[in-house]
Amino acid sequence: MKLLITGAGGQLGRDLVRVLEPAHTCYAFTRQQLDVTDEAAMRERILSIAPDAVIYAAAYTQVDRAESEPELAFRVNAVGAGHAAMYAELVGAAIVYVSTDYVFDGEKGEPYKENDCTQPLGVYGRSKLAGEQLTRELNARHFIVRTSWLYGRDGSNFVTKILAAASNKRELTVVDDQYGSPTYTVDLAVCIGRLLETNAYGLYHVSNRGFCSRYTFAEAILAAAGRRDVRIRPARSDEFVLPAPRPANSALTDLALRRARLPRMRDWKSALEHFIHVDWDSPPESGRGGLIR
| pTM score of the predicted model | 0.93
Beta-carbon contacts of 112 under 8 Å, excluding residues fewer than 6 positions away, are: 101, 104, 205, 250, 251, 252, 253
Predicted confidence at residue 279, as pLDDT, reads: 87
Q: Which of these, 204, 194, 184, lies nearest to 254 by C-alpha position? A: 204
As a whole-number percent, the residues of the chain with pLDDT over 90 amount to 90
**Domain 2-156+181-211+250-268 fold:** Rossmann fold (3.40.50)
pLDDT digits (tens, 9 = 90+) for 7-45: 999 999 999 999 999 999 999 999 999 999 999 999 999
Round to whole Å and give the CA distance between 80 and 74: 8
pLDDT digits (tens, 9 = 90+) for 188-198: 999 999 999 99
pLDDT at 232 over 90: yes
Round to whole Å and give the CA distance between 262 and 185: 18
pLDDT at 187 over 50: yes
pLDDT digits (tens, 9 = 90+) for 153-172: 988 899 999 999 998 889 99
The residue from 124, 179, 184, 215 that is catalytic is: 124
Predicted confidence at residue 281, as pLDDT, reads: 62
Is 97 one of the annotated active-site residues of the chain?
no
Query: Minimum mean pLDDT among 43-57, 220-234, 270-284: which range?
Result: 270-284
